[in-house]
Amino acid sequence: MINGLAQQARWQWLQSDGAAASQLWLPLEVLQGQLGFSSESRPDGGLELEWFGQTLKVAPAQLRSLDDEVGLDVGPTFAAAGVRLEATAETLKIEIPPAGLVGIRVSSAGGTAAMGGRRVVLDLDGIALVRQESGQLLLGLRSTAAQRAELQGLGFAARQSDQGLTLQRPGVVPKVLTLGGPARVVLDLAGVGLAGTPGAGAVATPPPRLDPRLQALLSSSVTVERQVRAVGNRRMLINSVRLDPRRNPLELRLLTRPDGMQGLSSLPALAARDQALVAINGGFFNRIRRMPLGALKEQDRWLSGPILNRGAVGWRPRELPQFGRLRLEEWLTDETGRRWPLTTVNSGYVQRGLARYTADWGSGYRPLSGAETAVLIRGGIVQRQWSRAELAQGVGLGAGDTLVVARAGAVAPWPVGSRLSLNSRPLDAVGMNPFVLGGGPLLLQDGRLVLNGTAEGFGAAFQQQGAPRTVVGSDGRQLWLLTVQGEGNAGPTLQETAGLLRQMGLRDALNLDGGGSTGLMVGGAMTVLGRGVSASIHNGLGLVPRDSVADSSPTP
């Protein structure tokens, strides 16, 4: 319970025995989404967190697993801030007394606020709850009617309640920062002018609960269903959306950020960018480094390559998807005909050998491991070599650039001017599709239960634990997007999930990222939250009206 608001999350509180400070372990997702912590990854794989002027540096060895989430000890941080804690049975109560809103300021990146204002700064008289949920921001603040009118003039819907001040700006999900000395909350609007819609004096209203475009399809070609099924003596809640993509105005699309593979977003933000009427969370990612750990292919471009022969789904517009386990074989051939194998493409999965990165990774590359060198290739010719020290400063990536990174003692030996050719081929038909999403494990294929988490590189604990699940599947006639949740935190195991889906008539099914990442949006409304809160995720799958996207069918 955070200021009286309930949610589901694993926690651990080890109270002081007088010799040491109390330890309070909370999931990173709760700290970021429900309390206002901001974080940056460190080169050593650790984290650096900021919260109202307090800095918490966490080494990799100081991270702990809380079920399927990354846990951190914030006991000393909370104690220094005066946060009240109380534990009763299985409930942890966190109380942050409300602060007063002292003032509202607008800062601009060059020019006046009306000519490109980008930030709204809220000055406070103390630290406050900062909770982000489905496009809304709840601040544990006391505000006046005049202050709320001022915020409305800046385009926000502002409402005061016993819980605090709720802010929302349609179409905009601001980045939120907290600062100290004095306490401040900064709303970064990412380049959206403050004089835009709604205009000065206008009061923004929340979006409708169900998009009318989806409402029109529910009676004809799209089925949205909620059902409860038993697994032993437990009940499982299954939410599903299904349609025939061959005869439907909605198209299955990848949902990704516009600025490359590094960074996380909320499912509502990803869905809004592509106007998706239905959306689920997608594949796995490294929550610390905020980088993908699996296949993402869009219009024949590998935004991120597959890893570990894990399960994947591939599709073409207006066709049912294909399922399989996917490896991508890539190599460079030099002027002598020698082949140099590549381990991954645009991936946050680090292993020894040569990996390649392109502008799809982002505008630049920085080392992901301790000792890396690289060469930059353009037009099939090596343009530059980068030493370990030079690479540590970062390398810009432009259209047509390929950066080949050598890790863990591997060498990229080609001098400037060398000619190299790239060869790439997926080792399963699923990878031949123009769109691919990786997940795992593969649960069902052609009506058979094919679950084998060990073969796909998943650990024993992951395979055995129960958790909320997100699944993409097919019954041979329709595409299915599903979530499966159990009572409490448990949820079904992978084996139970596969059995449930088989009972429901699915022939193919792929497990996607689950646990706290599990989410389902239907018609603009967040209908499923895996752990009861809206999580930050890397990518997703969406059903998008065909008239809002260009036809991505391959050219004959």
- The answer on 415 and 446 residing in a single domain is no
In a domain, 197, yes or no: no
- The answer on 519 and 392 residing in a single domain is no
User: Which of 36-50, 228-242, 409-423 shows the lowest per-residue confidence on average (mean pLDDT)?
Assistant: 36-50
User: Which of 119-123, 206-210, 411-415 shows the lowest per-residue confidence on average (mean pLDDT)?
Assistant: 206-210
For the chain, the C-alpha Rg in angstroms (whole number) is: 24
In a domain, 193, yes or no: no
- The answer on 175 and 117 residing in a single domain is yes
- The answer on 318 and 440 residing in a single domain is yes
Q: Where are the beta strands (DSSP E) in 278-400?
A: 278-281, 285-286, 291-292, 296-298, 301-304, 311-315, 322-325, 328-333, 339-342, 353-357, 364-365, 372-378, 381-386, 395-396
Last residue of a domain, one of 136, 165, 188: 188
In a domain, 199, yes or no: no
Instruction: Answer whether residue 67 shows pLDDT above 60.
Output: yes
- The answer on 541 and 414 residing in a single domain is no
User: Which carries the bigger pLDDT value, residue 556 or residue 162?
Assistant: 162
Instruction: Output the six-digit token pair for 270.
Output: 């990803």
CA torsion, ordered 504, 322, 427, 350, to nearest 10 deg: -70
User: How many domains does the structure of the chain reveal?
Assistant: 4
In a domain, 336, yes or no: yes
- The answer on 132 and 57 residing in a single domain is no
SS3 73: strand
Q: How confident is the model at residue 524 (pLDDT cuts 50, 70, 90)?
A: confident
DSSP class of residue 391 equals H
Q: How confident is the model at residue 219 (pLDDT cuts 50, 70, 90)?
A: confident
- The answer on 335 and 303 residing in a single domain is no
User: Which of 88-97, 105-114, 168-177, 493-502 shows the lowest per-residue confidence on average (mean pLDDT)?
Assistant: 105-114
**Whose structure tokens read 């505008």?**
363
In a domain, 4, yes or no: no
The residues with which 121 forms a beta bridge, in sequence order, are 105, 186
- The answer on 320 and 359 residing in a single domain is no
Last residue of a domain, one of 162, 188, 214: 188
Q: Report pLDDT for 548.
A: 67
- The answer on 446 and 470 residing in a single domain is yes
Structural domain span for residue 263: 223-327+428-547
Q: Report pLDDT for 29.
A: 83
Rounded Cα–Cα distance for residues 314 and 324 (Å): 9
Instruction: Output the six-digit token pair for 491.
Output: 């949820």
Considering Cα of 431, then 435, then 438, then 439, what sign does the dihedral take? negative
Percent of the chain with pLDDT over 90: 68
Last residue of a domain, one of 95, 119, 134: 95
Q: How confident is the model at residue 111 (pLDDT cuts 50, 70, 90)?
A: very low
Instruction: Answer whether residue 109 shows pLDDT above 80.
Output: no
User: Which of 139-148, 264-273, 434-443 shows the lowest per-residue confidence on average (mean pLDDT)?
Assistant: 264-273
Q: How confident is the model at residue 82 (pLDDT cuts 50, 70, 90)?
A: very high
What is the helix (H) or strand (E) element at residue 473, kind and residue range?
strand 469-474
- The answer on 321 and 352 residing in a single domain is no
User: Which carries the bigger pLDDT value, residue 57 or residue 370?
Assistant: 57
C-alpha neighbours within 13 Å on the C-beta side of residue 257: 18
- The answer on 267 and 182 residing in a single domain is no
Instruction: Answer whether residue 206 shows pLDDT above 80.
Output: no
SS3 101: strand
In a domain, 542, yes or no: yes
User: What tens digit of pLDDT does each residue of 299-349 get?
Assistant: 999 999 999 999 999 999 999 999 999 999 999 999 999 999 999 999 999
Instruction: Answer whether residue 183 shows pLDDT above 50.
Output: yes
Give the mean pLDDT of the chain.
88
In a domain, 218, yes or no: no
- The answer on 372 and 283 residing in a single domain is no
DSSP class of residue 370 equals S
Q: Report pLDDT for 300.
A: 97
In a domain, 554, yes or no: no
